[in-house]
Amino acid sequence: MPQEPGSHSRYSRPVRALWVTLGVISLVLGIIGIFLPLLPTTPFVLLAAACFARGSARFHTWLVSHPRFGPTILDWQKHRAIPWRAKVFALSTMWVSMGTTAWFLRARPYASLTLIGIALAVSIWMLRLPTRAPASRSSSQS
């Protein structure tokens, strides 16, 4: 099988091991992010895919073929944008969970303000990412 230009084979074994290690760490953080609203899942999974692409063709193929994570990675590679629904879902669930947690921590104003600050920073970052508009239905209605 021919190697693509820029593939992982151009790196030495220790550098590839470092890329794989960073990919595993990113993937673990992404998986944790499924359950913790403070960690965004998608950016960590995309980072893991980029690391695996440089470190291990086998891990990269596994991640891109994964039924849960693969479509997100392929969508990003094809469109270089986050789907509108995913962005809305991520922002709304983050604000509900962060707002609820900040309210429960209202006796500790610094903790509440810190959570709101984190949510605001993540929201600004996410809103600045390119958004892929939902598929137009007008062509199917004609």
pLDDT digits (tens, 9 = 90+) for 41-90: 888 899 999 999 999 999 999 999 999 999 889 888 888 888 888 888 88
| Per-residue model confidence (pLDDT) at position 10 | 79
d(CA 38, CA 77): 25
- Say which residues have a Cβ less than 8 Å from residue 9's Cβ, sequence separation at least 6: 3
The mean pLDDT of 96-117, rounded to a whole number, is 91
Query: 113-134, pLDDT tens digit by residue?
Result: 999 998 899 899 889 988 887 7
The percentage of the chain sitting over the pLDDT mark of 70, rounded to a whole number, equals: 87
Determine the Cα angle at 37 with ends 36 and 40, to 5°: 100
| Per-residue model confidence (pLDDT) at position 135 | 67
* Residue 115 near residue 105, CB atoms below 8 Å: yes
Whether residue 53 is found in the same domain as residue 31: yes
d(CA 97, CA 51): 30
d(CA 9, CA 62): 17
Whether residue 72 is found in the same domain as residue 105: no
Whether residue 14 is found in the same domain as residue 43: yes
- Print the domain residue range for 101: 81-133
The number of distinct structural domains making up the chain is 2
Q: Is residue 117 part of a domain?
A: yes
Residue 2 CB burial class (10 angstroms; 0-12, 13-18, ≥19): exposed
Q: Is residue 138 part of a domain?
A: no
Is residue 139 predicted with pLDDT exceeding 60?
Answer: no
Whether residue 69 is found in the same domain as residue 92: no
| Per-residue model confidence (pLDDT) at position 15 | 94
* Residue 51 near residue 22, CB atoms below 8 Å: yes
